[in-house]
Structure 1
Amino acid sequence: MATEDNEVPINAIRVFVTIAREGSVTRAAGALGATQSSVSRYLAVLEDYLGADLMERRGRRSELTEFGRLFANTVAEPIDTVYFTAKRMRRRNRPDANRIVVRTSLSTFAYSLLIPNLQAFSAEMGGVTVDVISSLSLPTSSENFDVLITRDLSVIEPADNWEIYNEQLVCVGSPNHVDGKGLSIIRSMPILNVTSRPDVLPTWLRAMNLTSKDIKSGARYDHNYLALPAVMTGKWLLVAPEIIVSDLVRGGVLHVIPGSRTPSGMQYRAYAVDRSDNPEIARAFCRWLARLCKKAAIPEAA
């Protein structure tokens, strides 16, 4: 990690920019996938080269010095430009030229709609492989993904984006229990709670001019993909995004209670990041996904 006197320590500068962006050596190490000791050594190399301290202790915390803030603000954008340009330039020699990584914060959406239809996209694109990863954490530019699908996260790097779905909520139940019945059934049949989406039930109740006192509270599940088997097989109701139950409704496994559809105000978006090694495929995937979501909508009569 040592450098000659006249050799600019580019790697150390990139590490320092990450430290400044993340706010600490510890978080920078996590973002870079490196050890704290390695990040600290890069910091020491850069301080030695510049002949100035970049970080200083403030009680139990470390903060950028005035010189460190000035240096970080000056070099951050050029370093990012070099990084993104290098990523784009290497794509011609990339061994996985027919592969993209899709990152999503919508695990039930991926389970119920996206993954079952990926073979159709692969066939349409001549055999493209789509890797799918799920995470609720904020995405960073150091992560390896080509497309982000999200409802509540944002991308802080250059990316094209598509509106793929304006979320609609519906109340569903097993046909054995809800066929031929209207909204009045919600006063007698327990509604499942999904703790990963605490906003859904209150939003739906307000739209129906109801309060929590008007319903029976059912069992709790962490995610919709855990609640779906329960509502399919038990005497429960579930208020959920229409798009994740659409195939089950079409297949007759679940039934939408008439008059229960309402917008949630949430919007699903797909981002194709500029640094993707396969930007054309990433953008084609986003366009395909928008079409898929449009086709997945349940007819109003359902």
Structure 2
Amino acid sequence: MVEKSDIPMVAIRVLAAAGRYGNFTRAGAALGITQSAVSRHIATLEGLTGVALFERRGPQIAFTPAGAQFYEAVRDAVATIELATQQMIQGQIKHDRLTVRTSMPSFAMNVVVPVLGIFMESHKLQVDLITSLSPPQPREEFDVLITRDLVLPDTESWELIREELVCVGSPAMVAAQQAQTLPNWPLIAAKSRPDAIPVWAVAKDISVDRLNVGAVYDHLFLAVAAAIGGTGLLIAPRVVVRDQLNSGTLVLADDEAVASGASYLAYVNAHSKHVLEAREFCRWLKGILRQHSL
């Protein structure tokens, strides 16, 4: 039996960093130690537990099943310890403002904004939300980037949710299509998501040319409003129309969801002065999305 005094807390913190960054070198840089020191700490844990925690794939690493289970169990606790220590170092003066940038205005409006008040009240942080479709520029000031289509290489990221596409419409519109074959359904589209209909059509084994696409809107949130108004059926991410499905203003025209292969990610800006608070926001938002998807 391992005594409490024998538990290598530093090694556990190193493992959490390695899982966070997906690379021993970047984890070492974040902790101010060398890559070889990271390897030694991981070897200490593996020797103590008697199981391999990582698979080495050249410069990249991946958790073994045992490693992934251990990481999920300790990472939140390690982050909490880091945050509490940082606050103590700063004389318990906590930064009270966070800037969150997103390239997905519809996701922000329908998913993030409605729950921001809960986060701000519980964490005593003001969140400024800005939208931009362009990639962030070097040294641009923001703390978190929420995106589906942008990539920030060598940056800490959190997978918030994997995207599923569904076909929805107003109750009256869906009822009216029961006698129609799927290619004849009147669809509406959003220019901001030109891929949605083709991805859905491929999964349904239907040629896009056969589909009946009518009105086209600039943004997905406009297309959602049009679908609620009965203009047509809409192929949309389930998470974006979740509340409308729950309230009954939209209903599923087809029960089978289609995995688009995309994920919504949150990146912590490497140049943020408030990394710990940014991580806390990412962790909280991922938990909210996971809870709502159950």
Q: TM-score, normalised by structure 2?
A: 0.65
Return the alpha-carbon distance in structure 2 between the equivalents of residues 268 and 107 of structure 1: 13
Distance 1:241 1:183, change over 3 A: farther
Partner in structure 2 of residue 225 of structure 1: 221
Superposed CA deviations along residues 159-204 of structure 1, whole A, max 9, x for unmatched, are 3211111110000000122149669553333101211211111010
Distance 1:185 1:294, change over 3 A: farther
Return the alpha-carbon distance in structure 1 between the equivalents of residues 270 and 193 of structure 2: 30
Return the alpha-carbon distance in structure 2 between the equivalents of residues 234 and 288 of structure 1: 35
- Alignment partner for residue 120 of structure 2, among 114, 119, 122? 122
Considering only CA atoms, is the larger Rg found in Structure 1 or Structure 2? 1
Are 2:251 and 1:255 equivalent residues in the alignment? yes
- Alignment partner for residue 105 of structure 2, among 81, 104, 107? 107
The answer as to whether partners of 1:201 and 1:239 remain within 8 angstroms in 2 is: yes
Q: How does 1:144-155 map to 2 (within 5 A)?
A: 144-155=141-152
Partner in structure 2 of residue 133 of structure 1: 130
Return the alpha-carbon distance in structure 1 between the equivalents of residues 288 and 280 of structure 2: 12
Partner in structure 2 of residue 280 of structure 1: 276
Are 2:267 and 1:271 equivalent residues in the alignment? yes
Partner in structure 1 of residue 232 of structure 2: 236
Return the alpha-carbon distance in structure 1 between the equivalents of residues 249 and 134 of structure 2: 33
Superposed CA deviations along residues 249-294 of structure 1, whole A, max 9, x for unmatched, are 0011100123341100111110112322222211010011111222
The answer as to whether partners of 1:170 and 1:240 remain within 8 angstroms in 2 is: yes
Return the alpha-carbon distance in structure 2 between the equivalents of residues 216 and 178 of structure 1: 15
**How far has the Cα of 1:218 moved from its partner?**
1.2
Q: Which moved more, 1:253-262 or 1:100-109?
A: 253-262
**How far has the Cα of 1:142 moved from its partner?**
1.8
Letter of the 1:186 partner, please give it: L
Distance 1:185 1:175, change over 3 A: farther
Q: Count the aligned residue pairs.
A: 206
Distance 1:212 1:159, change over 3 A: closer
Return the alpha-carbon distance in structure 2 between the equivalents of residues 185 and 147 of structure 1: 44
Partner in structure 2 of residue 164 of structure 1: 160
Q: Secondary structure at the match of 1:244?
A: coil
Q: TM-score, normalised by structure 1?
A: 0.63
Are 2:198 and 1:202 equivalent residues in the alignment? yes
The answer as to whether partners of 1:186 and 1:237 remain within 8 angstroms in 2 is: no
Q: Secondary structure at the match of 2:226?
A: helix
The answer as to whether partners of 2:139 and 2:271 remain within 8 angstroms in 1 is: no
Partner in structure 2 of residue 296 of structure 1: 292
The answer as to whether partners of 1:191 and 1:238 remain within 8 angstroms in 2 is: yes
Partner in structure 2 of residue 82 of structure 1: none
Note the aligned Cα RMSD (angstroms): 2.5
Q: Secondary structure at the match of 1:198?
A: coil
Q: How does 1:184-199 map to 2 (within 5 A)?
A: 184=180, 186-199=182-195
Q: Which moved more, 1:165-174 or 1:208-217?
A: 208-217
**How far has the Cα of 1:92 moved from its partner?**
5.5
Q: Secondary structure at the match of 2:129?
A: strand
Letter of the 1:119 partner, please give it: G
The answer as to whether partners of 1:188 and 1:215 remain within 8 angstroms in 2 is: yes
